[in-house]
Structure 1
Amino acid sequence: MNAPLAPAELAGRRLVLALSGGVACYKAAELLRLLVKAGAEVTVMMSEAAQQFIGVATMQALSGRPVHVTAWDEATPNHMPHIALGREAEALLIAPASADLMARLAQGRADELLSLTALARPRERCALLLAPAMNREMWSHPATQRNVAQLRADGAEILGPDHGAQACGETGEGRMLEPPALLDAVIAHFRPKSLAGCELLITAGPTFEPIDPVRGLTNRSSGKMGFALARAAAEAGARVTLVAGPVHLPTPAGVLRVDVQTADDMLQAVLPRAQALGPQGVFIATAAVADWRPATLAPHKLKKNGKKVPPQLELSENEDILARVAALPAPPFCVGFAAESEHLEAHAREKLVRKKLPLVVGNLGPATFGHDDNSLLLVDAQGAAPLPADGSRADKRVLACALVAEIARRRAAWLQP
């Protein structure tokens, strides 16, 4: 069965992508392609300097729309593209945003198309997103930092910059974020902030319980669902800490990551943080934590040495992290995950009752481990409901956003006196 297509997360969104001068203009073509692929309707405008780095024809071909390059565009109604474009867009994304352009924006100057449009846009419904790109010395200069602070105070969102190799041959901060990171930032901008101000702690991935210095007990959890939830929660405005077992996944933007190996490592990382959350916080236990660990760790690799009888492993039970958190004197809103191979609702309900949880999210482990899609079953004291509602499979990012919205709704009701 083919997995569902990745969601068009910007479907119907109207954006203006503006390019000021800089070598990073070459990244704008890929950014434009990603925005359009995500469903956005993108109109491009380019400064005179930007046209020295990338051609108008390229951006027009990728957007499928005319590219605006002058404030005197006769094709625009009333010859006022800076008015018309700002009225039509939900966000003005300037990428790259040069030091010179940001200085003009901070001062409220309006002497060319990009700054005119930024100044004339209806601020309450057209956001200003800036992706700085410049030499490290230019970025760190006090004048630039004053301008950035002023732009933030005026309501602009500053996306980046990144740290890395620069066109001048130097290395440092000032490099424009890569197109996928900018796409994620734009998607996050449009997400409802249903968890604004909330502290959220989440576990993800497997644990690894060593038998000897080489081998260990683990499971097939990829961590993808937990990482998708961490990203969705951050996009919903939460301050997210992700405690991750041994997985090879990039950390979602805006998320604090703590890497662990064993179940005990995870317990030690989670408990003090969960205690600090209190009833206002949220704890989501998506990690597939090993129930058992070897009672002793062999100091060296266990060898066959021609023996036909395998070594006998004595196992000790790991502590139940979710149960410990739920039993705190002032626990956060706790969400458990039940990865089962059969009788999903029955096992999920047993976990709900035994650990005294407000919500358990069930899924069939063999059908989801390592996959990019999944289907969930939400189990609470009132009953059970599938997610998606029709019981089909959906992309884990889609499921994560829907589940975060559901958790936010339930948390709000849980906090009511």
Structure 2
Amino acid sequence: MAKQIEISGVGCCLVDYLYNNISFTSEIFSKYVSKRSGDGGLTPGQLVFAEEFEKFSGQDFESTIREITKGKPADKVNIGGPGIVALIQAAQMLEETGCRVRFYGGRGEDETGKYLQSSLAKTPVNIDNYKRVNGATPSTVVLSDPHFQEGSGERVFINSIEAAGNYLPKYLDARFFSSDVVVFGGTALVPAIQDNLTDLLAQSKDEGCITVVNTVYDFRNQKANPDRKWPMGKSDDSYSNIDLLITNHEEALRLSEETALNDALIFFRNLGTGAVMVTNGAKNITLFAAKNSIFRETELTEMPVSEAISEELNKSHSGDTTGCGDNFAGGAIASLGLQLQNGSTKINLKEAASWGIVSGGFSCFYMGGTFHQKEPGEKQKRIFPYYKAYLKQIDEG
């Protein structure tokens, strides 16, 4: 009988209102582009809080969105957020394996919250610990330009934290800390969890958990101190208790206060982080695993994106990149769970990255971060051929 592995995650869960084909080079959009870091304006690839964007624009949020979108309704309403989207991807890839995925988070008592509750109930993620807390349910307006950056695509995120601001560390119970793997996903959008990461990570390691942190753009700290590095909890002590850090290129630079990625990776390594994966849109993924970590030692390595997926996207000349990074994280977490279940004493980081790469790439084939399956195992079956093709690609490369 396969060993049961429990993965518990806490972090950002919200409703995404997705608007596709919004030109980031249009005159209307250009009116609302950020002039300086942290000023509340829009920047492709970054997140801003709705209240800060409202101050920047000088008019109410709804009116500005109507202007930018030319009054059209959202193209799609979907489950969003780096915490839950990564866990849904992991759970979909782990169906019928004996690995269980559990989510901890908060929503409001409103129609948006009821939509999330009912939608999440249709996924393989256990949501027994998805709580009602004070405040409206968090949401994000996602503006997507699939033609930006020569067809690579990019998004802008305008977030309303709402009830996530009232989700507290005390809601993480003994079962969370008894899990094989704990994931802190996009906690910059769940402030009380983010600010207490140092203690939460230390407690997780004391209880014997493997720890994963996947990040999101930290607008709160970027606005407060645009020229200083973003904190990871109360102190840099957090990094020594992170087994796997998954971040993107810009976030890696802001977390380390470095200007070059290699220097950022040295920063994380020197602070004792076990392994790091850095995504960079359609460019190569960069990773390493330290010698004394749960992973096989892996020197600084670059891995390419999936050629098979890129070729299909090029044929259609478009792709919605919403949720690529979150699904990448989910694919890597799923591989981590499977390798633990198979009794691996040292996790193969490149294998985990391979699943992350095809998972992130596959998300460009549908709109929004969450793929809604028609039947259990559907997404797993559809991604597997890309995984096999990717193994052949890197073997031949």
Greater gyration radius:
1
Decide: shared fold, TM above 0.5. Answer: no
TM-score by length of 1: 0.32
